[in-house]
A = this chain, B = another copy of it.
Amino acid sequence: MKPALKGHKIRVFAPATVANVGSGFDIFGFALNTPGDEVDLCITSKPGVQIKNIISDFEDLPSEPDKNTAGVSIAAMLEYIKADYGVALDLYKKMPIGSGLGSSAASAVASVYALNCLLQEPLKINELLGLAIAGEKITSGDSIHLDNIAACLYGGFILVRSRDPLDIISIPTPDDLYCTIIHPRISIKTSESRQLLKKQISLDSAITQWGNVAGMIAALFKKDYNLLSRSLKDVVAQPVRSILIPYFEDLASSAIKAGALGCSISGSGPSLFALSNSKVKADQIGSAFKKVLDNHDVQNDVYVSKINQQGPKIIKVAI
């Protein structure tokens, strides 16, 4: 296997993702057009991975390749393809770690997708998935965010029907579905947020949840926003995880008042997402979100986006 663009440098974007999506705890995810991470990647004659620069507005990230999700994924890929060369990369973090927006998944996916493009696509998307999972393991331990990784890599709305064996299904979304995100600048570690969840749930809650899960899928196929709104309720994770998010109830009710179909926690938080059926409403929800946190002097970032249908994409290739 010979790298066809060995002297080139490629820049790739990979999208932020919303996992869980209300009722679909651990099984639903979708990709956003903004924010997302970018990576500049080139092949080096020296074997191994070098992370040269991490450019971020947010907290410092480890640049040691074995502690960084991008570095681990690329190292796994180089081993998988038995490469006798290496990779150097710059990482442009456009979103913070621990935001609930699939930040680590985006870095991992951007990196393996970039290398695969430079190599003229020797690997299939399912193989890239396995390599990005290797990267995620370092940030999430045993609980890998397959819903984030799969949504980031495939784009669109995905269902992780099963983890073992892996079974990922693409679900169509209406063209005018918009997502508004608010990220309060506080950090919640997924592992801590996960510890809040009980290992047992009542059968009644489970039935409520899978009724909503089925309703969500039906709503997306039928383009039925009313049903989507009724189904976007999480009775399992949200009631406990929302405790960690400042002003959660105020944020959620402000989104609904501004026209949201529903609002819940993105991944394990602290970001919230709200869905709506127009750009105008999505922007209004963003303003309403921002007002709540600004009033309490909580630093925040707001993003408005359609559902990203493409997954990672090449920004540029240069010599």
Contact = CB atoms under 8 A, between A and B. Distances in A.
A231 B162 CA distance: 9
Contact of A199 (B197, B203, B217): B203
A214 B167 contact: no
A148 interface: no
20 contacts: A24-B214, A25-B207, A27-B210, A159-B211, A159-B214, A159-B215, A159-B218, A161-B227, A162-B208, A169-B214, A169-B218, A197-B203, A198-B203, A199-B202, A199-B204, A200-B200, A201-B202, A210-B210, A213-B214, A214-B216
A198 B35 CA distance: 43
A278 B243 CA distance: 52
Interface residues of A, number: 39
Interface in A116-172: 159-162, 167, 169, 171
A230 interface: yes
A177 to B, nearest CB: 17
**5 tightest CB-CB pairs across the interface, nearest first?**
A221-B221, A210-B210, A161-B215, A217-B217, A206-B206
B217 A214 contact: yes
B171 A211 contact: no
Given A167-B230, A230-B161, A231-B161, A218 B215 contact: no
